[in-house]
A and B are shown apart, each in its own frame.
Chain A
Amino acid sequence: MMTAKTMEHLILVILSMLVAFGPRFIPLRIFSTRDIPKWFNEWMKYVPVSLFTALVVKDVFINTGEGYVFTGIHNMAKIIASLIVIAVAYRSRSMGLSVILGLVAVTILAMFLPV
């Protein structure tokens, strides 16, 4: 049952765990006995929003299949669905609702607009 691909995936999972564990554990360990330096907090504050935006932009505005081409407003279904998700997230603050309505919106919009 253990194919080469499964083995490869298992190694990836273990490496991912290590990569995920470091940022969670090290600051927790250091700062449970010491105070947090201000510059560290100030810098870290903008990492999530920058990364999430970049990831959203990659999915909505970049065609990775044809060598990372900027698609402008071509993927209209995803653009409209994204606006819906932003509105739902802002009003409901609910993760589950935002994701589900986003999926529903993109499914419906994909029927008559390019994804």
Chain B
Amino acid sequence: MTVELDAKGLTCPMPILKAKKAIKGMGGGEMLKIESTDAGSVADFESFCRNGGHELMESNEDGGVYTFLIKKSA
């Protein structure tokens, strides 16, 4: 199951805070898909995942919208 999070229109630190909240409610190995318009979130989600032991499966940009797919650490 993939949890979806719309963080478009929000700036630092809200995409990370909302992602953390979502991840907290998920089980290990579950997927979180985040959409953001914050250019800084590209580097931020890399750090967030490295720090938390989560896997950043995808990081894409299309027309100013950044999409991240994160697999929660087991």
Asked if A and B bind, the verdict is no
Residues of chain A touching chain B, judged by Cβ–Cβ distance below 8 Å, are none
